[in-house]
Amino acid sequence: MGLERTAVAIVGGGPVGLLLAAELGVRGVRTIVLGDSPGTSTHPKANTHGARSMEIYRRHGVAAALRAGSPSKEHRTDVAYYTRLLGHELHRVSLPAPRESIEETLEPQTRWPTPEPHFARANWFSNRCCSTVRASSQPSTFVTGTACLS
């Protein structure tokens, strides 16, 4: 790769870096995204996307694709704390299934403060969706396999 001029260099090619490139791109800002892995991850690093992230995905047109790719719209997304694997359950945070979350946002007395509730989905799938958003915005350069040292 030769010398390249850009307005913004983004270090990290995960969902945050890719969406930042897309956000800047729709505003006409040219970016370069530097990621240390050779491409999109194929194993989960994170599995929940907050309501605010889902709002950004919706604005860029990928929220529906994320939800459509869900393994199950009926599977509850509870968070449970155990003493050890297969040990005693200490506490459980009860969360609705994806379908229930969406239905609840349409109710007048909803607990969701945003039109898009949080969503549980593997990070590798989100990166593919975010790559699609980035590709459709202002031209940016995506460099994989690049370590950034300070």
* pLDDT tens track for 112-141: 777 777 776 655 555 566 666 555 555 567
Number of domains within the chain: 2
The stretch 101-105 carries a mean pLDDT of 81
* Cα–Cα dist 17/120, whole Å: 19
Which is it for strands 89-93 and 140-143: parallel, antiparallel or unpaired? unpaired
Q: Residue 47: its pLDDT value, please?
A: 67
Q: Tell me the CA distances in angstroms from 28 to 4, 16, 96, 119, 132, one per residue in order.
A: 17, 18, 39, 29, 17
Kindly state the tokens that stand for 24.
Answer: 């800047």
- Domain containing 2 equals 1-45+127-150
> Is the domain of 13 the same as that of 74?
no
pTM: predicted TM-score of the whole model, two decimal places: 0.63
